[in-house]
Structure 1
Amino acid sequence: MAAITGGPLIGRERDLSRIGDAVGQGGAFILRGEAGVGKSALLEAAAAQALAAGHRVLHGSGSQFEAEVSFAGLHQVLYPLLADLPRLSPAHERALSVALGLGEGAPPGQLLVANAALLLLRQAARSQPLLVVVDDIAWLDRASAVLLGFVARRLTGSRAGLLAASRSGEEGFFEYGGLPGHELQPLDEADAAALLNARFPALAPRACQRLLADARGNPLALLELPVALGDSPPSVLPQVLPLSGRLQAVFAARIRNLPAASYDQLLLAVLEGSGDVSILDRESLAPAERAGLVRIEGRLLFRHPLIGSAVVELATGEQRRHAHQRLAVRLAGRPERRAWHLAEVAEGPDEEVAALLQAAAHANLLRGDGVRAITLLLRAAELSPDGIGRAGRLGEAAYLGSVVNGDLRDAPRLLEQARRADRRGESLPTAVAGTYHLLNGYGDVDSAHRLMTGGIGTLADAHNKPLIEGLYSLLMVCFFGGRGELWETFHAAIDRLKPRPPELLDILGRTFSDPARLAPPVLDRLEVVVAGLEREIIPARISRVGIACAYVDRLGQCREALWRVVHHGRDGGAVTSAIEALFLLGNDAFLVGEWDELQQVVEEGLALCDQHGYQLLAWPGIYLKGMLAAARGDDGTATALADQMTRWASPRRARAIQYYAWQVGALAALSRGDFEEAYRQASAISPAGELAPYVPHALWTITDLVEAAWRSGRHAAVAAHAAAVQHLAVVSPRLAMVAGAAAALASGDNRLFEAAVATPGAERWPFERARLQLMYGERLRRTRAGGDARVHLVAALGTFRSLDARPWLTRASAELRATGQSAVPGSAELTPQQWEIATLAAVGLTNKQIGERLLLSPRTVANHLYQVFPKLGVTSRAALRDALSRNRSQMTQESPPP
C-alpha cells in the first residue's frame, strides 16, 4: 500500500530523473528493491512531479492480506475513470463492468478485459497526460497483475504511463520480462547520514554511527529505528538482525502501544484487504492515524505493508477468527468475500460454507479468473464432508487446474483424494478430470473412453454444464481414438440431449468426427458461429470453433481469434486452449504456405506441452514438424518423427496419431520419388475409392493418395478415388480443386485440369495447388503441348522455390528443362500494367483500392495478381516488395549500358 513520506527525498535525484524520462511520454517502468529501500517514497515523489507537470495520476497498490477478490487491484486503479466507461464500445464496457463487479453478464475473457482497460486509459490520456502509479505490484490479485502486465506492454507511444514498484525477490503474477526498470539501491553513506541528520537532528554522533551501521543505507530503517530508540543510549540498540526482522520489531512495538479498539480495527482492515473504510470505526482508528501508521484518503492506507504484516503476526488465532466472523457479518451483501471469511472461521467440515465457496469459485470463473476459482474450489473441498460433494469439487479443481492453469502434474493427487472421498463411483467432474489425465499422461484412449462414458451415463440435460464439458472431453477421446465404435457412443449421447444440443457442440461433433458425410449439412451453421468469433471472449470456445473448422478448410477465418487465445495464454490464461490455438494456426500455416510461421507456432506449442506435461496435445505439433520436414526433403527427420508417432500410437490404439504418421510417411515417400511406398502409406489412412468413416484425416490426404496412385500406374485407383471425393467440391475451394484434379487425372480431360487449378480461391493453398500444376505440366509435356506445359511448370516452380520445397523444386526444374526452357522467366515478362498492380499491392493496397486507382474491377486486379505471383516466385502479397526489388536489381544488371 502507499507509503507516507515527509520532506524532500535525499539521495534520489538521479532515480527520480530516470523515472521521469521513462514514463513522461508514455510507457512503463518497474522499480524494484528491498523492503524499506524507499520505493514507496520515490513513487510518491514521481507522482507529485507528474502532477506538477500537468499529468493526471491514478493510484493502486497490492496487499499481502488481500481478500483475493479478482480484479480488486484493477478496481483501485480505474475507480476515478469509471464514469467514462460508457464511452467505450458496448463489448468493452460490458467486459470491464462484469470484471469489476459493477454489472452482470457473460464471463469476460481476460484479453477482452485487458483491452478494455487499455482503451479506457488511452482514452483518459487524450485530454490530459496520465500516470498510473502502483505500489507493491507483486501483492496484487492475480487477475489484476496479469492484466496490468498486458497494459504495461502496450502504453509505449501513448500519453499514458505506468510506474510500479515491487520488492526484490517477490515475483507475484505481474510479468516483468522485457519492461524497462531499475533496481533501487540503498543510500550511500553520505546520503544516509544526510537523511538521518535531517529527520533526527538531535541524535548524538555515536547514536548516528550505530544507526547508520545498523540500517545499511535502508531509508525505512533510518527513519523508523530512531523512533524505537527513543531516549535509550546507543549501547542498548538491538544486535544486527535481518532488516525485515528489525523493521517488523519496530512496527510491532508501535502497534502494541495502540488501544485495543484501535488494534482491532487495524486487524479488520488488514484481513479485509481492500481499504474499505465503510466497515471500520473511524473513531477507533484515530490513535493509529495519529501514530502515523495509517492514513485515510477515500480508503485506508498503511504507512508500509510491513505494518499490516506485524498487525496479523501479533494477533492470536482466536483474535483472527473473531475478526473474520465480524467481517463475514459486515460483508453479508458481498457473497464472495463473505464466503472466504466464513471459510477462515470454519474449524471442520461445513457443507454450507463449502457450497458458498463453490459458488464464489464459479463467479470468479465467469469473470475470467480460473486460477482464483481453483483456489476457492480446493478450500471448498477441504470443508466438504466426505462424499460426492467433496469428490466433485476436487475433480472440478483438477480439471480446471489442468485446462486453465496448466498444472496437469497435480491432477493425480487431487483425483486420488476425490476417489477416497467418495468410493461409490466417479462423479462427472472427477470423470472429466480423470479422462484428461489419462489422455495426457498415459495416452490410454480406451480407458479414458470407458471412464468418460461411465461418468456421463444416461444424463440428457443440455443445460447441465458439467455434462456438456464432459461431452467435449469425450469428443477429443473419440478423435484421438479414431475408431467408429467410439464415435457411436458420442453421437448417441448428443442425440439424447434435451431440449437440443448446444450449437457449437453439435456442429463440432459433425465436422470433426466424419466431415465427409456429416459436415456439408451444417456448413451454413458453422459460418454463423465463425462470424461470431469477433465477439467471442472465452478461449476454450474459440479453440473449439477452430477445431470445428480444421477439416473443412475454414481455419483462415479464425486466425485473429486464435491469436487472441495465444496471447491470452502467454499472459497467464488458459494453457490448453493456447496450445490448441498454436497448432491450429500451424495447420493453417502449412496449408496456406506460411511455413516460417508454422515453425514458430509449433516450437512455441511444443515448448508449452513439455513445460506442462501435455503429452497427447504435443502430437499435432510433432505431426506438423514431420509434414514440413517431408515437404522440404528432410527425409531423415520426417521418417524419424513418423516412426516416433507410430511407436506411441500403436499400443495405445490412438488411431489419429497413426494417421498423422502415415501422412508424414506418404509425403516423405512422394518427396523422394518412392511412389509405391507413398501409395501404401496414403491408402492405409483411407483406401482408394473410399473416404473411410470417422477418419477426418482422409480429407487432408486426397492429393497424396491420388498422386501416389497416378505415379505408380494405378489408374483404376485414381478413378475410384476421384468418384469418391466429387461430392466434397461444395465444402471448400481446396477440396473443389483437389476433387477436380482427381477427376481430370482419371478422365484425361485437360479442361477439367484447367478448371481445377483455376478454382476461385485455390491460390490460398499454394503447395497443394503447385503439386497439381506440376502433375498437369508433366502430362501436357508428355502430350507434346510444351508451351502450355511451361505455363504451369513455371507457376509450380515459383511456388516451390518460395516455400523452399526442394524435392518438388528439383522435379519442376527438370520438367521445365524437358520442355526446352532452361530457366524460369523473370520479371521482364511482367507487362507495364502488371508491374503497376504488383507495386501497389506490395505497399498494402487491396484489390478494390488498386482497381479504383487504375479504373479496373477488383476481379481484373485479382486475375493479374494470379499471373504475377508465379512469375515472381511468390505466394503472398507480403513477399511482393522483396521480389520486385530483387527483379529490378536483376534487370538493371542485365541491361546493356547506354
Structure 2
Amino acid sequence: MTGPAGAHGWRHDAARPLFGRDPEIAEARAFVDRARVSGDALVLAGDPGVGKTVLLDAATDYAAAVGTRTARVTGSQFEVDVSFSGLQQVVDPFLDHLTALPEPQRNALRGALGLAEGGAADRFLVASAARALLVAAAATAPVLLVVDDLPWMDQASSMVLSFVARRVAGHRIGLLGALRTGDKGFFDHTGIRVLDLEPLSDEAAAELLADRFPALTSRVRQRLLADAQGNPLALLELPVALHIGSRPAPSALPATLPLTRRLQTVFAGRVRDLPEPTRHALLLAVLDGSGDLRVLTTGEIDRLGPAERTHLVSLDRAAARLHFRHPLIRSAIVELSTSDERRDVHRLLAVRRRSEPARRAWHLAEAATGPDERIAALLQQVAHTNLFRGDSVGAITELLRAADLSPAGTARSSRLAEAAYLGAIVTGDLRDVPKLLDAARDADPRHGGALAGAVAGAYHLLNENGDIDSAYGLLTGAIDALADPTDGGNKTLIEALYTLLMVCFFGGRPELWPFLHTAVDRLRPRPPQLLTILRHTFSDPAHLAHAVLDRLDVAIDNLRGESSPARIVRTAIAGSYLDRLGDCREPLWRAVRHGREGGAVTSAIEALFLLANDAYFTGRWDEVLTLTDEGLDLCESHHYRLMRWPGLFLRAMVAGGRGDEALSARLTEEMTAWAAPRRVGAVTAYVSHVRTLTALSRGAFDSAYRHASAVDAHAPNALWLVMETVEAAARSGRGAQAAAHVAAAERARIGALSSRLALSVAGAAAMASADDDHADLFARALATPDADRWPFDLARIRLAYGERLRRTGSPAAARDHLSAAIDVFDQLQAQPWASRAAHELRATGAHRERSGPHLAPTLTPQQHQIAALAAAGLSNKQIGERLFLSARTVGYHLHQIFPKLGIAARAALRDALADLPPPPDQ
C-alpha cells in the first residue's frame, strides 16, 4: 500500500506487493478491460485510508500499459463552489476532438468551460456535449476517466459526470471514481456498480506492517494492529507518529481519538515541522484547489521541496500538476493556518486568477471581512453566468454568498429574493423560501425583494396553502408597482407573468384573466411568442386557440433543438389541451432526464404529468401509473402540493375507468376537500371530469350530466368533455341540451383544433342525432382521420353506435361495433366499460367468442414499417410524410394491420409487434 515517510512516494510501487488486495486488483483490471472494449463505470467506496487511491493508481497504471488514454482528477473540498471546474480538468486532454461535435454541443461545452462567451441554456446539453466529446476521443483510443474524492467535485461537474457514467455502454469509455463510505456529494452513483473496499484482514495487515516496519517490537506491533483496525494508511502512518518530537510511545495517540482524526493529527504534525515558506506555498495550492502548479511562482514551487521530500505532495512539473498524498493533508494545512493568513492567500489568488471571473469572485469573497458591494456584484454576475450555463444550484449558492456580502438594503434584499425565486421555480428548494423571503424583507422592509420575491412568494403560497387569491394579489401588486411594467426585456417580469398565468389557470375563474391579458398586451417591443401562445390556449382554448395554432405547431417543431426544460414544458403545456403532446414526447423526456440528473425539478414534475396525460388519451394506462408515481414522489419530497393535483387527477381517471371506484372516490374527495375552500377551480374541474366518466361507465347518465355541466364552458377542461356532456344529455332525456352543445362546439370549430377533438365533436353529433339519421353521423365519426390514435374515445363511440343499432333493430350490425369496443376496453382493463358493452352484446342475442390458438400473423415489410411508426406515436400524416404515402393510405393499411394482429387500437401495437418474428426482407 502507501509507503511511509522517507520510504517512497505514495503511488503504488510495482516492486512491492499490495497485501490482501489481490481480488480488488483483479476486479480493477477486469473493469479496465471491459471499459476499453464496451464501456463501463465503477465507483470504489471505503473508509479514509482504506486504499482507494492506491487502487486507482493500480488501475491507471494498468490502463496506460494496455494503451488506454487516461485523464485523472481529484475533487477538492476547497473548490466545490467553482462551477464546472472539475469537468474542465476531466475533458481538457480531449479538447482536440471538440471540432467533431455538432455546433450546439460544441458551443455549450465551450461556454461551460469558459472557453467562449455564451453557452448552454441547461446542464443537460453540456452533459450531452461532454459525452459526445469523450465518444469522439474514444473512437481513436480507449478512454479512462479516473476521479478521486467524487463528493468534493463541484455540483455542476458531478451532475455531468454522473450523466456520462450511466451512458458509456457501447463506447470505449470507462469512468472509475472513489468516495468515502457515507459521504454525500452531488455525484449520483445510483445505477452505477459500487465496489466496497473493506479493511485488510488481520493476516494481510500483519504482513504489511512486517514488510514495511520489520524492526517494530511485538508489543508495539500488536498495539498498531489493534489501533489501525485493518486500515492500510493507518498502518503506514501511525508508526511514524510514534517518533514525532518527544512522543516515544503508542500511548501518545489517545485511544479515544477516531482513526480519521488520528491520521489528521499525524499529518498536522508533519506539516507543522515544515519551513514557513513551504507551508505558505502549500496553503496557496490548497486554497486554489485546482492542483494547477501554474498558479504558483517558480520560487513558490521550489519551496515545496521539503513537502515533496516528506511525501506530503508530489509534483508533476511536466504537466504542471500538484497532488496531495491524502485529503487529510489539505485539511491539516488549512487548520494550521490563521484566518488572516487564509484571507491574504485568497486575495493573492484573486489577483492571479483575474482572467477567470468565477474563481476571482470566489477568492475575493473568501478574503472579505465584511459587507462589500463590489464583490457582491461580481458574485451575482457569476451566479447569472452559471444559471445560463445550467448550474441553478450553484447560482443560488453564489447569490446567497453575494447577499451575505451586500450592505443592508435593496441590493441584499433583491439577491435573497432572487435566490428564493430560483429555489421555488427551478431546484425544488421550497422549504428554504420563507426564511429567505423573511430575510429579504428584513434587509429592505419597504420593497422586500420586489418582483423576484413576489414570484417566489407566490410559488410558496400556492404549494404551502393553495392560496390562489393571495398569490394572485401578490403578483399583480408587484407587477403594478414596477417602474416600467411594459419592459418586455425584463426576465423577472416575464417569469412573473408565466407564474401569474399558472395562478389564473388553477384559479379557474374568468375574472382572473383580464389583468394578465392587459399586462401581456402592453409589453414592448412585443410579448414573448410562447407567452402569447399560452395565454390563448389556456385562458379559453375553445374560443382563442385557433388564432395561435400555426405558431404553436412551429414552436413544438422547434423543440427538437430546445435545451431549456422550462421552455420545453411550457410549450408542451400550451399544446396539452389541443392534443399535441405526442409531438412533444422526446423533448419532455429530455426535461425529465434533466431533473433526474439534478436539474430543474419543477420542469421534471410537469413533464412527467404531461407524458402521463398523453399516455392516458392514447390508451397506455399502465404507463400513466408509472409516470405519475415518479412525479408524485418528487412532489412529496420537494413539497410541491399544488403541482401534485394533475398527477392525482390522471390516477383517478384510470381508477374510475378500470372500475376501482373506491380509489377514484377517495382521490376525488381529497381533491374536493382541498380545492373547494381555496377556490382552486382547475382542481374542481378535474373532479367533475372524473365523476362524469365514472357515472357514464355505469350508465348513470343523469348524474354524469350534472357533473359535466359543473365545468365552466370557457375552462380548458371543457374541451375534454364535449362528447361526454352530449352523451350524458342525450341519454338522460335532455335532447335539446345535447343538440345545443353540439351546435356550440361546431360554431366554435372545436373539431379543427385536433384530430381527437374532431373525433369527439363528430361522436357527440352522432350521439345527439335522431334515430333516422344516426348511421351517417356515426359512420362519419368513425372515419375521422387518425381516429385510432385515441382508442378509448373511439371505443366509446363504437359502444354508442352498437347501442343505437341494437335499439333500432340492427342487432347483427351492432355486434361488430360492440365486439370491437370490448376488445379495446379489455386491453385498457376498463372493466365497467367492457361490462356495459358486453351487456349490450348479449342483448343482441350474441355472446363474445374468444379466438383460439392461431398462427403468428405476418405483415408485409411496408405494413411492418407503418405499424412500427404508429406504435412509436406518429400520426397518420407523420407516417405518410416519412414513407411518401398519403395519410388516407396509411389509415387504410392500419385498418388491415389491426385485424391481422388481433388488436383494435394503436395502443396495443407495441406489444403485438414485440410478439412478431423479424420483418421479411423487402
TM-score (norm 1): 0.93
Q: Which amino acid aligns with 2:792?
A: F
Q: Is the 8 A contact 2:70 2:146 kept in 1?
A: yes
Q: Which amino acid aligns with 1:737?
A: L
1:525 pairs with 2:551:
yes
Q: Distance in 2 between matches of 1:754 and 1:509?
A: 36
Q: Is the 8 A contact 1:67 1:274 kept in 2?
A: no
Q: Secondary structure at the match of 1:166?
A: strand
1:865 pairs with 2:891:
no
Q: Distance in 2 between matches of 1:642 and 1:849?
A: 37
Could you say which residue in structure 2 is the equivalent of 1:571? 597
- Of residues 721, 726, 730, the one that matches 1:701 is 721
- Of residues 106, 123, 126, the one that matches 1:113 is 126
Matches within 5 A, 1:794-805: 794-805=819-830
Q: What is the CA-CA distance between 1:744 and the residue it aligns to? A: 2.8
Superposed CA offset, 1:182-232 (max 9, x none): 211222233223323333344455443433333222211222233333487
Distance 1:880 1:187, change over 3 A: closer
1:58 pairs with 2:71:
yes
Q: Is the 8 A contact 1:36 1:219 kept in 2?
A: yes
Q: What is the CA-CA distance between 1:237 and the residue it aligns to? A: 4.4
Superposed CA offset, 1:829-869 (max 9, x none): 999887987777677799999999x9998854532422543
Moved more, 8-17 or 42-51: 8-17
Q: Which amino acid aligns with 2:49?
A: G
- Of residues 337, 357, 375, the one that matches 1:353 is 375
Q: Distance in 2 between matches of 1:636 and 1:848?
A: 41
Superposed CA offset, 1:152-187 (max 9, x none): 222234322211111112121111223222211222
Could you say which residue in structure 2 is the equivalent of 1:415? 437
Q: Is the 8 A contact 2:44 2:176 kept in 1?
A: yes
> What is the identity percentage for the equivalent residue pairs of Structure 1 and Structure 2?
54
Size of the aligned set, in residue pairs, is: 881
Q: What is the CA-CA distance between 1:234 and the residue it aligns to? A: 3.9
Q: Distance in 2 between matches of 1:724 and 1:564?
A: 39
Q: Distance in 2 between matches of 1:849 and 1:569?
A: 29
Distance 1:183 1:828, change over 3 A: closer
Q: Secondary structure at the match of 1:175?
A: coil
Q: Is the 8 A contact 1:3 1:302 kept in 2?
A: no
Matches within 5 A, 1:437-476: 437-457=460-480, 459-476=485-502
Q: Which amino acid aligns with 1:532?
A: N
Q: Distance in 2 between matches of 1:413 and 1:578?
A: 25
Q: Which amino acid aligns with 1:533?
A: L
1:195 pairs with 2:208:
yes
Matches within 5 A, 1:495-514: 495-514=521-540
Q: Which amino acid aligns with 1:211?
A: L
Q: Is the 8 A contact 2:595 2:603 kept in 1?
A: yes
1:122 pairs with 2:122:
no
Superposed CA offset, 1:67-92 (max 9, x none): 52112111111111011011122222
Distance 1:843 1:651, change over 3 A: closer
Q: Distance in 2 between matches of 1:729 and 1:359?
A: 50
Q: Distance in 1 between matches of 2:547 and 2:853?
A: 48
Moved more, 789-798 or 598-607: 789-798
Moved more, 358-367 or 10-19: 10-19
Q: Secondary structure at the match of 1:107?
A: coil
- Of residues 180, 184, 197, the one that matches 2:193 is 180
Q: Distance in 1 between matches of 2:722 and 2:877?
A: 34
1:290 pairs with 2:300:
no
Distance 1:883 1:139, change over 3 A: closer
Q: Secondary structure at the match of 1:585?
A: helix
Moved more, 54-63 or 521-530: 54-63
1:641 pairs with 2:667:
yes
Could you say which residue in structure 2 is the equivalent of 1:19? 28
Matches within 5 A, 1:834-845: none
1:766 pairs with 2:791:
yes
Could you say which residue in structure 1 is the equivalent of 2:283? 267
- Of residues 319, 342, 353, the one that matches 2:341 is 319
Moved more, 449-458 or 103-112: 103-112
Q: Is the 8 A contact 2:416 2:439 kept in 1?
A: yes
Moved more, 158-167 or 818-827: 818-827
Q: Is the 8 A contact 1:186 1:217 kept in 2?
A: yes
Superposed CA offset, 1:365-384 (max 9, x none): 11111111111111111122
Matches within 5 A, 1:470-869: 470-686=496-712, 692-693=713-714, 695-726=715-746, 727-748=749-770, 749=773, 750-824=775-849, 826=851, 859-860=888-889, 862-869=891-898
Q: What is the CA-CA distance between 1:505 and the residue it aligns to? A: 1.1
Q: Is the 8 A contact 2:620 2:907 kept in 1?
A: no
Q: Is the 8 A contact 2:80 2:155 kept in 1?
A: no
Q: What is the CA-CA distance between 1:350 and the residue it aligns to? A: 1.7
Q: Is the 8 A contact 1:630 1:638 kept in 2?
A: yes
Q: Secondary structure at the match of 1:443?
A: coil
Q: Distance in 2 between matches of 1:648 and 1:353?
A: 46
Could you say which residue in structure 2 is the equivalent of 1:893? none
1:334 pairs with 2:356:
yes
Q: Which amino acid aligns with 2:744?
A: A
Q: What is the CA-CA distance between 1:655 and the residue it aligns to? A: 0.7
Matches within 5 A, 1:148-167: 148-167=161-180
Q: Which amino acid aligns with 1:246?
A: R
Distance 1:179 1:349, change over 3 A: same
Q: Which amino acid aligns with 1:56?
A: R
- Of residues 411, 426, 431, the one that matches 1:404 is 426
Q: Is the 8 A contact 1:23 1:162 kept in 2?
A: no
1:141 pairs with 2:154:
yes
Q: Is the 8 A contact 1:778 1:789 kept in 2?
A: yes
Q: What is the CA-CA distance between 1:640 and the residue it aligns to? A: 2.4
Q: Distance in 1 between matches of 2:907 and 2:732?
A: 37
Q: Which runs of 5+ in 1 are unaligned?
A: 687-691, 888-898
Distance 1:787 1:836, change over 3 A: farther
Q: Secondary structure at the match of 2:427?
A: coil
Distance 1:534 1:225, change over 3 A: same
Q: Which amino acid aligns with 1:72?
A: S
- Of residues 316, 322, 325, the one that matches 1:303 is 325
Q: Secondary structure at the match of 1:24?
A: helix
Distance 1:659 1:288, change over 3 A: same
- Of residues 5, 11, 14, the one that matches 1:4 is 11
TM-score (norm 2): 0.91
Distance 1:496 1:169, change over 3 A: same
Q: What is the CA-CA distance between 1:793 and the residue it aligns to? A: 2.1
Q: Distance in 2 between matches of 1:679 and 1:38?
A: 71
- Of residues 876, 880, 887, the one that matches 2:906 is 876
Q: Is the 8 A contact 1:395 1:418 kept in 2?
A: yes
Q: Is the 8 A contact 1:675 1:711 kept in 2?
A: yes
- Of residues 367, 371, 378, the one that matches 2:400 is 378
Q: Secondary structure at the match of 1:181?
A: strand
Q: Secondary structure at the match of 1:685?
A: coil
Q: What is the CA-CA distance between 1:47 and the residue it aligns to? A: 1.1
